[in-house]
Each structure stands twice: as structure tokens, then as C-alpha cells.
Amino acid sequence: MNARPLIDMDRVSKVYGNGTVALQEMSLAAQQGEFITLVGASGCGKSTVLRLAAGLIEPSTGRVQWSEDDWRKKLAFVFQEAALMPWASLLENVRLPLKLAGVPQRKSRNLVQETLHRVGLNGFEKSYPRQLSGGMKMRASLARALVTQPEILLMDEPFGALDEMTRSKLNRDLLELWQQQQWTVLFVTHNLYEAVYLSKRVVVMAANPGRVLTEIEIDAPYPRTEEFRTSRLYNEYCREVFACLQETASPVLT
Ligand SMILES: Nc1ncnc2c1ncn2[C@@H]1O[C@H](COP(=O)(O)OP(=O)(O)OP(=O)(O)O)[C@@H](O)[C@H]1O
Ligand SMILES: [Mg+2]
């Protein structure tokens, strides 16, 4: 226990160019293999945390440290919008990161096929994004992240635009893959039920300025079945997260 965290944010503040204090003294350490979810009101800095963890932006004060030198190669980002290239087939869309890295097509072909299979999209290689449902587009976007064989996944409201059934199915599939691949996941959602179902740890953030209000350990074993989703324990955790979120709500709105 207490191994060096994979990503360690230590009292990080982030002030954007226009003076917005997006984060103030935020600390968060992600251990190898954790599934951490950030929840909190719009504008509390969740995406900013992910961008800092990905090294896309720099903190204004404080430090972000990664335990491994080649962390950039091990990290993949999944955004809310699938952002697929509409003119390219699914195969080409998923192959993109490998193409950018200069991997020749004959070498990447198997890996792309295998990844599509892993997210349940085998047989759709030749389809174009417009021919796919929202859930399938999200799977494609996930495949594009996974094809680089990452160890750390940063996911910013990846399933926010999906209906409840599709979301739960993708939640189950994501957890199964996470268990198989032993990724470290930093996940953002507005949906507290999703947060509790997926995570080992739910980090509740407060806004103005963005900071950690509290962390809730979800002490339930994996694999998390449908039984867990209907259990009293699950309900209790959901209620606890909800109560914390309410605490963060602006008094004007309550
Ligand atoms: N590039 C930017 N320049 C200036 N301000 C920004 C920038 N990006 C974010 N902000 C501001 O920083 C704060 C935190 O933004 P962030 O996008 O991290 O919040 P969030 O929790 O992800 O919100 P949401 O749930 O709506 O996605 C907000 O006040 C936002 O307006
Ligand atoms: Mg955001």
C-alpha cells in the first residue's frame, strides 16, 4: 500500500488567462488501478482537472507529477463528443492515432480489428459515423482511445449524451474492460448513479473556486452486477453523494 501514485496533483491552482480561478489548492492522487470519478456542479473544474492530468495545460501554482517517465504514451483521453471524422470509415477513424504515430497499415490492421472487437463493434469496420447510433459512436471513440493500448484513461462525460439503457450497457462493458486491463481511470460525470456504480472512489467537487469538497470510498466488490445496482448499499451511497452535491449547490438555487 502507499505506492507512489500514478498521477499526483498537489495543491494545484489553475487561473485561466481571463482571470477565472478554475481550481484552488486541489489535491488528488490516483493510484495504479483505481477508478476515480469526479462529480460536481457545472463549472467546478472537472474538465480542468482532466486537462491537467493529461498535461494539456499547466497548473498556475502547485504540482502535477506522474510516476512514470513515459506517462504520455500510456494515457488516452475520451471526450463527451465522439468527434469522429465523418468522411472516414470506422476502421480509419480508429486507426488514426496509430497512423499519426507512423505505424504502417499492415502492422496496425490486427490491432484495430482486435480493438473494435473488444468494444463490440466487429463487423462495422466499413461503416461511416453517420450510419452508427450514438452508443456505437461512443464505442468507436473509446476504441480510438484504446487502440494506443493506454494504461491510464481520462474520460470526460463520455456517456452524457446517451439514453439510460445504452449508458448502463456501456458502464458494464467499461467495468469489464477495466477489470481485464487493469487501467487507471479518471472519469467525469454529472450522473451520480453512474459515479457510484463505476467507482472505487467518488470525488465531490465544489465550485467558485473549484476544489474537493469530499471523497467517498465506494466499498463494494467488483464485478458489480445488476444486483449491486438494486442493493441497499448502492442506494445508500447514491444518497450520500447526492447529499454532498446538494451541499455544494448555490443557496440561490436551493
Ligand atoms: N480555456 C478557458 N479559459 C477561461 N476560462 C475557462 C477555460 N476553460 C474553463 N474555464 C472556466 O473555468 C471554470 C472550470 O471549467 P471546467 O470546464 O473545468 O468545469 P467543468 O466542471 O468541467 O464544467 P462542466 O460540468 O460544465 O463541463 C469555469 O468557470 C469555466 O468557465
Ligand atoms: Mg467539463
pLDDT digits (tens, 9 = 90+) for 107-166: 899 999 999 998 899 999 999 999 999 999 999 999 999 999 999 999 999 998 888 888
Nearest CA to ligand 1 atom 12: 22
Nearest CA to ligand 1 atom 24: 42
The cell for 175 is 467495468
Nearest CA to ligand 1 atom 31: 43
Rounded alpha-carbon distances, angstroms, from residue 53 to 27, 57, 127, 187: 11, 8, 33, 12
Pocket test for ligand 1, best of 46, 77, 191, 192 (most atoms within 8 A of CB): 46
Which ligand gives the minimal distance to the CA of 40?
1
Q: In a structure prediction context, what are the per-residue pLDDT tens digits for the chain, which is 254 residues long?
A: 557 899 999 999 999 999 999 999 999 999 999 999 999 999 999 999 999 999 999 999 999 999 988 888 899 999 888 889 999 999 999 999 999 989 998 889 999 999 999 889 999 999 999 999 999 999 999 999 999 999 999 999 999 888 888 889 899 999 999 999 999 999 999 999 999 999 999 999 999 999 999 999 999 999 998 999 999 999 999 999 999 999 877 655 44
Closest of 74, 76, 68, 69 to residue 4, by C-alpha: 68
CA distance 103 to 134: 29
Q: Which atom of ligand 1 is nearest to the CA of 50?
A: 18
The cell for 56 is 494539456
* Domains present along the chain, CATH in parentheses: 7-84+151-246 (3.40.50.300)
Residues with CB under 6 A from ligand 1: 16, 18, 20, 22, 42-48, 210
Q: Which atom of ligand 1 is nearest to the CA of 44?
A: 21
E strands in 1-150: 7-15, 21-30, 35-40, 61-66, 75-78
Segment 108-119, tens digit of pLDDT: 999 999 999 988
Q: Which atom of ligand 1 is nearest to the CA of 205?
A: 21
The model's pTM: 0.93
